[in-house]
């Protein structure tokens, strides 16, 4: 029984198709975009995402734990991504000014340039695998519906 006390209602056929398709998109889309990014930009999606998130952050910096959450990775997973990007000069690590125990990942100018270089490959992949398939649909309504789901997670 759900928390609101109402009895559970089985999924109808349309709901079942939607839930399964959404699950397949959630697992399959990152794989195909990653493959495109590696092939076309020589940059894995996890690294592109870290660079993108940092480019959007104030002062191009984020606490490592916040970057991990935003990038949907564990802290150890994001630490490995940042270490790879740091070796290439795209990210630097700096002590948090507010809490000297923590670390920030900081996007370098070279990292921003690398992001700009890889952006067309990411855009092409997203258009090919998502937006072109949704042509003719109400994208604003779809985005609003997905935002409602997201805010409840």
**Where is 91: in which H helix or E strand?**
strand 91-95
Residue written as token pair 């997905």: 146
Task: Provide the pLDDT confidence category of residue 58 given band limits of 50, 70 and 90.
Answer: very high
State both tokens at 98: 């507010």
pLDDT at 152: 76
Measured CA to CA in angstroms, residue 97 lies from 6, 60, 90, 100, 101 at distances of: 49, 14, 21, 6, 9
| CATH architecture, domain 41-118 | Orthogonal Bundle (1.10)
Residues 89-115: tens digit of each pLDDT: 999 999 988 877 889 999 999 999 999
Give the mean model confidence (pLDDT) for residues 41-50.
98
pLDDT at site 97: 84
Enter the tokens of residue 131.
């937006």
Please state, rounded to an integer, the average pLDDT across all residues of the chain.
95
DSSP-derived secondary structure letter, 7: P
pLDDT at 11: 95
What per-residue confidence (pLDDT) applies to 130? 97
Q: Is the pLDDT of residue 5 over 80?
A: no
pLDDT range class, residue 1, cuts 50, 70, 90: low
3-state helix, strand, coil in the chain (%, to 5): 65, 10, 25
Q: Say which residue the tokens 């935003």 belong to.
A: 70
Q: Which whole number is the average pLDDT over 58-83?
A: 96
């Amino acid at each position: 029984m759900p928390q609101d006390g109402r009895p559970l209602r089985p999924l109808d056929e349309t709901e079942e198709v939607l839930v399964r398709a959404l699950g397949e998109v959630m697992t399959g889309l990152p794989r195909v975009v990653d493959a495109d990014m590696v092939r076309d930009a020589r940059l894995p999606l996890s690294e592109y995402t870290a660079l993108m998130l940092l480019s959007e952050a104030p002062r191009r910096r984020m606490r490592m734990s916040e970057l991990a959450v935003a990038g949907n990775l564990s802290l150890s997973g994001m630490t490995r991504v940042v270490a790879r990007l740091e070796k290439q000069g795209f990210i630097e690590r700096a002590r948090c000014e507010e809490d000297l125990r923590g670390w920030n990942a900081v996007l370098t100018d070279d990292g921003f340039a690398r992001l700009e270089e890889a952006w067309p490959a990411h855009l092409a992949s997203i258009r090919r695998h998502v937006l072109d398939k949704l042509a003719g649909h109400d994208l604003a309504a779809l985005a609003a519906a997905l935002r409602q789901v997201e805010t409840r997670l």
